[in-house]
Structure 1
């Protein structure tokens, strides 16, 4: 079946990695693996477009371009990934109606508080139009599910848990050993890994929080290494803080291609990232698939992707003491780490497996098209 895909927040070719982009690419790849012809028909990034006359001109041009591309493809379904107040879909509702095909949303978001703020009111109403016109919505976040039920009839919403392809993050002990050797880390040195985009928002806030927590851990357990994967505009400030708080212990390895991440996970003993402001956090799923216990804050959407006490430890937000204590416990208990690692791998295989979850989406889209 031909499917027209549109990602108004970030096109599939966007250079900066993020959880949303990972989900979008995984969705696109999985649908094609199931035999569909899923094509991205438009790369117009609608983020804040309505704030300028030039943005409205770009949106009008995108509407024309989207119609022509979809007309040539002749899809049976239009699928928009992640329409929300910052990046509302102002193309899909009209093109799908013109072509006489179902308009479907995946991971839409709705928050009435955006209506009250003049800075976000325009995006709120534009997004609301898209949500109202969708014949069906699929959500992968339980918080979004509750919000969507306020505007869309319950029968037109389906919850599909977030997932990854587990085989892409299978642990490889031999590669992990080679990676440690390449990084000059002894086999007996505990390794804590973290990964994020170094941008000036909650990602940076989380990394700063982690560095302060590890400074407290250093007082109890001075011998460990921190492996940091990622890059971004805040890199120099993070490195400076790491030199101050963890002299000689933090190793920044730069931006790692996603297909290579499993090598770094395999070289590590624990994955730690606070997850401040995270709606879900795809790195948590990747780490668990690679049999790494996770230590994070018990906040936001993190409990939806990490099972505290089973696949990791979720701790309250304080001055970093609770996170330091949890890491100290895990680094001192190899059996607990191995048990949580096996639990995490099984959790991803059975409940956060993108192959299985997208199979349900595939079947639903075919039923909608019929």
Structure 2
């Protein structure tokens, strides 16, 4: 089946890794593995496009080209990944209306508060139109599903659990040992974390984690925090780590996606606060590698981490509880191994991409026939 595809928020070849991009690539990869042909209709990033008139001609050119190509070689469906008020899909609704193509959205988001803000009211109505015209909408976040129910009839909505390919994230003891040796941390109790060092909630989360870990360094001499990632805030974070946990931190740099399983296999616990985290694919990846997780109980994190079973979820900014969770896991190897085993089994049972996306493919084929 031929599928016309567009990702208005972030094109598939965007060079800044993120959970959102990982989900988009995973969806496309899965569909291609099932034998479907994906044809990308535009690489224009539509983030705040209604405030960026210089992008309008680029999108118009892609619209004309897409209309011409799809008229001659008609796809079974059009699939848009991630439309919301900041990056509304302007192509899909127009082209599908003109050509009579089924319009499908994966990860549509609806938020009524945006219509009360001058800056976002245009994006709100553009996105609302896209959502209303969609023949079907898939979402992988419970709160988004609930919000969409206020706008879209239930028969046009499907909730799909977020998923990864568990086989790509299996514990690799050899790779873990090699990393520990390279870091000179053979016998340390390692807390791993990973994020892009952007000047936003990612860096604020790392900032908070580093300061919270200062308490760990005082009570667990063998404790060590290993941070994976890169970005413009690296200097700031290194200075912060030197101030609060001197001798207890290592910056591992940007880890290629194919080497992340080895990175996770190097640690004892994975911790990242996840301030307003939409979902957090790193939590699934870490758990698949048998790591218990410590994070905030907010956003979409409770949908991918089982509190007190595969890790600990604590209230937002509660440093004493966050510290206690890390301390308990680092000092109790039996608890750590039990939660790590639970985490691995949980991901394989409920967050296997191929199993979860089979529901998506079945509906897409039905709608495209």
TM over 0.5: yes
1:161 aligns with 2:164: no
Partner of 1:45: 45
Q: Cα deviation per residue 1:195-221 (whole Å; 9 max; x = unaligned)?
A: 001111111111111011101222221
- Give the Å deviation of 1:349: 0.8
CA distance in 1, matches of 2:134, 2:326: 45
- Counterpart secondary structure, 1:296: strand
- Counterpart secondary structure, 2:119: helix
Q: Cα deviation per residue 1:163-197 (whole Å; 9 max; x = unaligned)?
A: 000011100112211111122112x2101000001
> Is residue 84–residue 110 contact of structure 2 (8 Å, CA) maintained in 1?
yes
- Give the Å deviation of 1:75: 1.2
Partner of 1:33: 33
Partner of 2:324: 325
- Give the Å deviation of 1:222: 2.8
CA distance in 1, matches of 2:185, 2:71: 56
CA distance in 1, matches of 2:22, 2:95: 26
Q: Cα deviation per residue 1:77-100 (whole Å; 9 max; x = unaligned)?
A: 100000001110000111122222
Aligned pairs for 1:1-40 within 5 A: 1-40=1-40
Aligned pairs for 1:218-257 within 5 A: 218-257=217-256
CA RMSD of aligned residues (A): 1.2
- Counterpart secondary structure, 1:119: coil
Structure 2, gaps ≥5 residues long: none
Partner of 1:217: 216
Q: Cα deviation per residue 1:226-267 (whole Å; 9 max; x = unaligned)?
A: 111111111111111011111122111111111110111001
CA distance in 2, matches of 1:132, 1:63: 20
> Is residue 189–residue 225 contact of structure 1 (8 Å, CA) maintained in 2?
yes
CA distance in 2, matches of 1:70, 1:175: 47
- Counterpart secondary structure, 2:108: coil
Aligned pairs for 1:289-368 within 5 A: 289-368=288-367
Range 341-350 or range 75-84, more displaced: 341-350
- Give the Å deviation of 1:54: 2.0
Q: Cα deviation per residue 1:45-72 (whole Å; 9 max; x = unaligned)?
A: 1111111432333332232233244446
- Counterpart secondary structure, 2:196: coil
CA distance in 2, matches of 1:303, 1:105: 24
Q: Could you tell me the TM-score, scaled by structure 1's length?
A: 0.97
Range 260-269 or range 56-65, more displaced: 56-65
> Is residue 42–residue 69 contact of structure 1 (8 Å, CA) maintained in 2?
no
- Counterpart secondary structure, 1:198: coil
- Counterpart secondary structure, 1:161: coil
> Is residue 213–residue 319 contact of structure 1 (8 Å, CA) maintained in 2?
no
Range 315-324 or range 279-288, more displaced: 315-324
- Counterpart secondary structure, 1:211: helix
> Is residue 79–residue 106 contact of structure 1 (8 Å, CA) maintained in 2?
yes
- Counterpart secondary structure, 1:163: coil
Q: How many residues align?
A: 369
CA distance in 2, matches of 1:166, 1:117: 41
CA distance in 2, matches of 1:118, 1:289: 43
- Counterpart secondary structure, 1:336: helix
Structure 1, gaps ≥5 residues long: none
Q: Cα deviation per residue 1:124-181 (whole Å; 9 max; x = unaligned)?
A: 1111110010000000000000110111111100000100000111001122111111
CA distance in 2, matches of 1:219, 1:249: 10
CA distance in 2, matches of 1:318, 1:248: 25
CA distance in 1, matches of 2:88, 2:317: 36
Partner of 2:90: 90
CA distance in 2, matches of 1:42, 1:71: 16
